[in-house]
Structure 1
C-alpha cells in the first residue's frame, strides 16, 4: 500500500477507497506485485489492513481495492460468518500483525443471505454443515425484519452491521485498539455490478 504517506486508520481507509475507485474505472496500478516485493515478503508481513469478506469468487478482495502482495490480511468465510477460527484470525491481524484498519465486507447477491431468507420463509434448510451458515446469518435477518426491513439488500446490509457489532462486542483487543485510536473499523458492502465498495458503518476513520 505504497500510496499511504502518513500511516493512520483514516489515511489507510482513504487509500483503500482510492484503490476501489481505480478498480471501478479499470485504471488499476497493480502495485506490489513485482519480483522485489515477492523477495521482500519472504522475511515477513506487515499489512496495513485486514478484511473479513465473503468467500464468493466474484469478490476478489485485493483486486477490489487495487492492492498487492502483503498489503491486506484477508479472511474469508461464506457469508462472512464468524466462528472461533475467524475471531482468532481477526485478533491475530490486529494484535499480532498490527493492522490499523479492519473492514468487514459483505456483498450484493450473497448466496448465504439468500439461502437464509428462503429458509426463514418456509424453504428448505441446506443439508450437512451448510446449515451452519443459515444458523449464523439468521439472527441478522430476524433483526432486520424486526426493524421493518424486508428486501435482500436490506438483509445484506443488516448482516454487515450485526457482524461489526458482534466483533466489537466479543473481541476486547479490537475494541481496545479502536478506543485508543489505533484502529479503524468499517462495515461495507461490495456491489457486483459496479465494483463499488459502499460504506455502511465507520468507526475511527
Structure 2
C-alpha cells in the first residue's frame, strides 16, 4: 500500500549509508543549476521534523540536495502551532509522502525535560517551555520501560509522531488514507547512523 512512501524512506536510508561511507552524491544537487531549477517552485519528497542541534543537519546526514527535503527543526523537536502549521503546509500544499521525526542521542532538550521529571529542576527563561513540553513524553517513556537517556530519546521521537496525528486532523487523514507515512527515527552522534524507532522499550522487551 505504501510503495511510494517506502521508496522515500529507503531513499533517505540510502543517503545516510552514502554519507556514513563517505561517498556522498548530493554535491551535484546543491549547485547553481539546481538552485536555478528550483527558483519558481519546490517538490520535496519528504518532511523531516528534527532537533535544532547543530550536529544533526538532516540534508547532510541523509545526503540530499536542494529541494529534496522540507525540514522543520526545533530544540528537542518540540511541537507547537508554528511546527504544526509548517507540517500541514508540507503535507497539504507540497504533497510530501513521508514525515520523519528525527531525534538523536545526547539531546540537551530531552535531558532538561528529564531533569524536570526526576529532580524538579526547571530551567529558566523559554528553555522552560521546551523542557515542559517534552516532560510528559519522558514520563510516558519511563512508564513504557525506558531506562537510559537513549531509550527515552527514542521514545520521545515515537511519541512525537503520535502527537502530530493527534493534533492535526489533516495529517491523520492523510495517514489513514494511505497518502502519508510517518517514521520515528533516532540519529547516533558517534556513528552517524539513522535507525528507525518502532516500539516503546517495554513493548520491545516483552516481544523479545
Question: Which of 82, 103, 107 does residue 106 from structure 1 map onto?
Answer: 103
SS at match of 2:119: coil
1:13 aligns with 2:25: no
In structure 2, distance between residues paired with 1:77 and 1:86? 8
Q: Which residue of 2 aligns with 1:44?
A: 41
**2:179 aligned partner:** 182
What root-mean-square deviation, in Å, do the aligned CA atoms of Structure 1 and Structure 2 show?
1.4
Give the distance between the partners of 2:20 and 2:74, measured in 1 at CA.
24
How many residues matched? Answer: 196
Question: How far apart, in 1, do the equivalents of 2:52 and 2:74 lie?
Answer: 5
Cα shift at 1:34: 2.1
1:57 counterpart residue number = 54
The offset of 1:177, in angstroms, is: 1.3
Structure 1: 5+ residue runs without aligned partners? 1-6
* Secondary structure, counterpart of 1:42 in structure 2: coil
> Does the alignment pair 1:129 with 2:123?
no
Would you say 1:195 and 2:203 are equivalent positions?
Answer: no
Unpaired stretches in structure 2, ≥5 consecutive residues: 200-208
Instruction: Give the equivalent residue in structure 2 for 1:79.
Output: 76
CA shift, 1:95, in A, is 0.2
